[in-house]
């Protein structure tokens, strides 16, 4: 009799626990996590993914278990076109995307200014100013987006099939670039620049349509450039302003907790992670290039650096003189840069 009573109590307790579990599950509506689609135009093996996308995705997915999850569509599964990425987010085909504003300069007028070499001491400094200007509404084109991170990757240098021992050897070389400002600088130095998406440049290089590319060293091997470009001229020639963006409407539709998780891994923390990761990878690749016996790695001479600074200045003057808006924006960039340096010396 005593055993039966114990059995009944145990059974009753189990029923109560099961009912509590069911009530909890019902309160959550048996909901699957909210899935956010992230469009990415190249592969998961690229430094671009490893440094600029994966840490953010992993962090959100770890904190958002059961609530929100990001799924990445690699290698252009939604679209391989860099120019399409902002439209995918605007149109709802993707919730997030890594975008290259220089691929659609008319959509992001003014962002070109962050391609100007010589304005900033570090990528982090450039990225923080870029982010500040977006938040202040000083840069057009970003209103439809929640900007996870706006960042600038400097340290772009020239990698060519043809030898480059000095600035003089750039004359006549057809070089792929990311944006108009870098193109203007190379024109000043005698080269023939071509604005081209990075994921189309290897075909052009292998077919002899271009002689070389302006990229950060970190991406040389993963896009195949290192197979043909054996000459590396480490002149700091430009920078690439980039961003990870999310649909503003989609972000607003998320539960507050999901919004908090995304915010926690956005902004300054995102910038610091991206710039540190890319800088480390660049240094590693340059060391590998120097150690390779069949490669030529050239540091610019003081005379070449002086020629480059003159080209930077000419490109800046040409850009600022193009419109009063450009001049005002350049002043704003310099003002925010100087304020940042004063508040937080590098």
Distance CA 223, CA 46 (A): 8
Using an 8 Å Cβ cutoff, are 111 and 241 in contact?
yes
Within-domain flag for 25 = no
Residue 165 pLDDT > 50: yes
The yes-or-no verdict on residue 2 having pLDDT over 70 is no
Domain hosting 266: range is 31-343
Question: With bands split at pLDDT 50, 70 and 90, how would you rate the model's confidence at 118?
Answer: confident
pLDDT, position 10: 52
Mean pLDDT of the chain: 89
Q: How many residues does the chain have?
A: 346
Residue 168 pLDDT grade (very low, low, confident, very high; cuts 50, 70, 90): very high
In CATH, what number is assigned to the domain containing residue 110? 3.40.190.170
In 3D space, the residue among 233, 236, 210, 234 whose CA is nearest the CA of residue 223 turns out to be 210
Instruction: Please tell me the total count of domains within the chain.
Output: 1
Residue 314: other Cβ atoms inside 10 A:
15
Residue 156 scores a pLDDT above 70: yes
Cβ pair 226, 220 in contact under 8 A: yes
97 occurs within a structural domain: yes
How large is the average pLDDT for residues 184-203? 92
For residue 6, being part of any structural domain is answered with: no
Domain annotation covers residue 3: no
* 271 falls within a domain: yes
Q: Which residues pair with 319 in a beta bridge?
A: none
Tell whether 138 is covered by a domain.
yes
Other C-beta atoms closer than 10 Å to the C-beta of 301 total: 13
Element (H, E) at 63: helix 54-63
Q: Is the pLDDT of residue 17 over 70?
A: no
Residue 189 binned pLDDT confidence (cut-offs 50, 70, 90): very high
Domain membership flag for residue 16: no
Question: Would you state the pLDDT for residue 28?
Answer: 43
pLDDT at 315: 85
Q: Please check whether residue 200 lies inside any domain of the structure.
A: yes
Average pLDDT rounded to a whole number, residues 15-44:
66
What's the whole-number mean pLDDT along residues 29-34? 75
Q: Which candidate, 287, 277, 290, 282, places its Cα nearest to that of 216?
A: 282
Per the model's pLDDT, the better-predicted residue between 289 and 21 turns out to be 289
pLDDT at 293 over 70: yes
Most confident by average pLDDT, 15-19, 114-118, 232-236: 232-236
Segment 292-304 mean pLDDT: 95
């Amino acid at each position: 009799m005593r055993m039966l009573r114990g059995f009944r109590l145990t059974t009753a307790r189990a029923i109560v626990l099961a009912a509590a579990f069911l009530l909890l599950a019902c309160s959550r509506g048996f909901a699957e996590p909210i899935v956010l689609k992230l469009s990415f135009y190249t592969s998961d093996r690229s430094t671009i993914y490893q440094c600029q996308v994966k840490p953010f995705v992993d962090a959100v997915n770890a904190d958002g278990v059961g609530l929100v999850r990001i799924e990445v569509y690699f290698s252009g599964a939604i679209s391989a076109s860099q120019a399409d990425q902002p439209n995918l987010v605007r149109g709802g085909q993707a919730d997030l995307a890594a975008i290259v504003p220089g691929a659609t300069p008319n959509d992001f007028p003014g962002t070109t200014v962050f391609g100007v070499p010589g304005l900033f001491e570090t990528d982090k400094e450039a990225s923080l100013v870029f982010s500040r200007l977006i938040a202040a509404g000083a840069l057009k084109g970003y209103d439809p987006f929640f900007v996870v991170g706006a960042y600038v990757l400097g340290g772009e240098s020239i990698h060519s099939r043809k030898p480059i021992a000095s600035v003089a050897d750039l004359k006549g070389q057809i070089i792929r670039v990311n944006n108009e400002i870098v193109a203007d600088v190379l024109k000043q130095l005698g080269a023939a620049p071509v604005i081209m998406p990075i994921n189309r440049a290897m075909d052009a290089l292998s077919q002899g349509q271009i002689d070389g590319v302006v990229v950060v060293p970190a991406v040389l091997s993963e896009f195949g450039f290192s197979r043909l470009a054996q000459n590396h001229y480490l002149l700091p020639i430009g920078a690439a302003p980039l961003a990870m963006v999310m649909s503003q409407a989609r972000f607003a539709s998320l539960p507050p907790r999901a919004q908090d998780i995304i915010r926690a891994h956005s902004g300054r923390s995102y910038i610091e992670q991206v710039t540190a990761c890319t800088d480390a990878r660049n240094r590693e690749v340059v060391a590998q290039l120097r150690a390779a016996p069949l490669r030529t790695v050239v540091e610019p001479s003081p005379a070449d650096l002086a020629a480059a600074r003159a080209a930077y200045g000419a490109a800046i003057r040409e850009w600022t003189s193009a419109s009063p808006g450009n001049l005002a924006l350049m002043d704003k960039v310099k003002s925010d840069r100087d304020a940042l340096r004063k508040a937080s010396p590098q």
